[in-house]
Amino acid sequence: MTSAIRVAGELAEKFRVGAADRDRGRLLPGPEVDELSDAGLYAITVPAEFGGADAPPSEVAEVLRVIATADPNIAQIPQSHFVYVQLLKLAGTPDQQRFFFGEVLAGRRFANAQSERGTKTIADITTVLTADHRLNGTKYYCTGTLFAHWIPVLARRDGVDVVAWIPADSEGVRIVDDWDGVGQRLTGSGTVRLDDVAVQPDWVVPRAPAFEGPTSYGAFAQLLHTAIDVGIARGALDDAVDFVRTKSRPWFEAGVENASDDPLLVQRFGELAVSVATAEASLAAAGVAVDAAFAEQSDSASAKASVAVAVAKIVGERSALEVSSALFEVSGTRSAASELDLDRHWRNARTHTLHDPVRWKYQHIGRAVLRGEAPPRHGLI
């Protein structure tokens, strides 16, 4: 176990204690995010040549999975940070890398401002970086911006996609806490409004290098999302186990003293345990595949990584949704009490798994298996 995973486990135990109260009261986890920074977890992917730990993708995924078992809101907040650190590795100039990696090592956090509404597809961008380096536009679903020091903004400059890093407190930046999803309520995924925001020319990075070769940039991003889903599944199972052991009444027809001795419940928990174990194993296998792709930088390794992550995404989503729903099935009526907030597991799973549709994962896997076609290179595979 690496030190980062060990630290993540220690923090997860702390975060688990107040997870239900935070969700129920919509108490944003600012102090908890600070703890992640203070523990150095935001800096684990900074390259060694710049003074970082250069943690591999599998380790980053395990860190987020462990945290997500306790509170997937907190686990999702740094996901974009790690992805944008990776973009700097791939597309940043040496001076940009030196500056921004120094910021990360000093405890600064990145978020994201990518998605827009009113466009035909999620790939369409209307925010323009003008010739005089000004940004105007509105971004939605900007996870983590409430807790960020820097906001990477996806924009168009002369018809080319770029990412402009702007300080979160820049003049003309308005971060609106208006995220009202049924789950993942505390991720700071609100709106960012940009009103003639000045951008330093040296803080603009082209996005194309992330996809021009076998970088596995998209596979890495999706690996981290999958880790959150798998963590939700484990957290839901752990809460179901605890509830049945300590609170559930046995069904009278079972003829047992304790609910945990009901043979039908034993069977169901066995099924759920297999579901979660399979999701965790798929995630681990995908992490190894992405590690290999990062190391080899080959078309073959990149394609294998994307397929492995797609498999893990499907299995992880299925497990998170099944276990978070079955929690009530195995625990009984008492578990539905609103004061317990156990429904947060399903709400979090249902919301977070919407990031990208598994129906297309099946397509990419099927094409790879049947036709030998490599998955496309974009941020969702």
pLDDT tens digits, 264-293:
999 999 999 999 999 999 999 999 999 999
Instruction: Give the pLDDT confidence of 149-186 residue by residue, as tens digits.
Output: 999 999 999 999 999 999 999 999 999 999 999 999 99
Residue 143 CA, distance from chain mean position:
10
- Domain assignment of residue 122, yes or no: no
Mean pLDDT of 195-201: 98
243 CB contacts (<8 Å, ≥6 apart)? 327, 331, 334, 335, 342
Domain boundary among 207, 237, 261: 207
How many distinct structural domains can be found in the chain?
A: 3
In this prediction, residue 1 has a pLDDT band, given cuts at 50, 70 and 90, of confident
Please tell me whether residues 365 and 225 are part of one structural domain.
yes
| Alpha-helix runs per DSSP H in the chain | 3-25, 30-38, 57-70, 72-76, 79-91, 94-105, 217-246, 263-296, 299-331, 343-352, 358-371
The enclosing domain of 96 has a CATH number of 1.10.540.10
**Domain contains 18:** yes
Q: Cα separations (Å) of 135 from 41, 159, 337?
A: 31, 14, 47
Q: Output the pLDDT for position 172.
A: 98
Joined together, the tokens standing for residue 227 give 């880790």
Residue 175 lies in domain: 128-207
Q: What is the pLDDT of residues 131-152, one digit of tens each?
A: 999 999 999 999 999 999 999 9
Please give the Cα distance from 369 to 26 (Å, whole number): 44
Is 289 domain-assigned?
yes
Residue 380 within a domain: no
Residue type for 294, please?
F
CATH code of 172's domain: 2.40.110.10
pLDDT at 5: 98
Q: pLDDT tens digits, residue range 223-248?
A: 999 999 999 999 999 999 999 999 99
Domain-terminating residue out of 169, 186, 207: 207
Mean pLDDT of 91-105: 98
For range 76-104, the mean pLDDT: 98
96 and 145 inside one domain: no
Given this model, what pLDDT does residue 73 score?
A: 98
Residues 55 and 78 in one domain: yes
Mean pLDDT rounded to a whole number for the chain: 97
Query: Final residue of a domain: which of 207, 241, 268?
Result: 207
Residue 129's pLDDT is what? Answer: 96
Write down the pLDDT at residue 123: 75
Q: pLDDT (tens digit, 9 = 90+) per residue, 2-37?
A: 999 999 999 999 999 999 999 999 999 999 999 999
Q: Inform me whether the pLDDT recorded for 381 exceeds 90.
A: no
* CATH at 227: 1.20.140.10
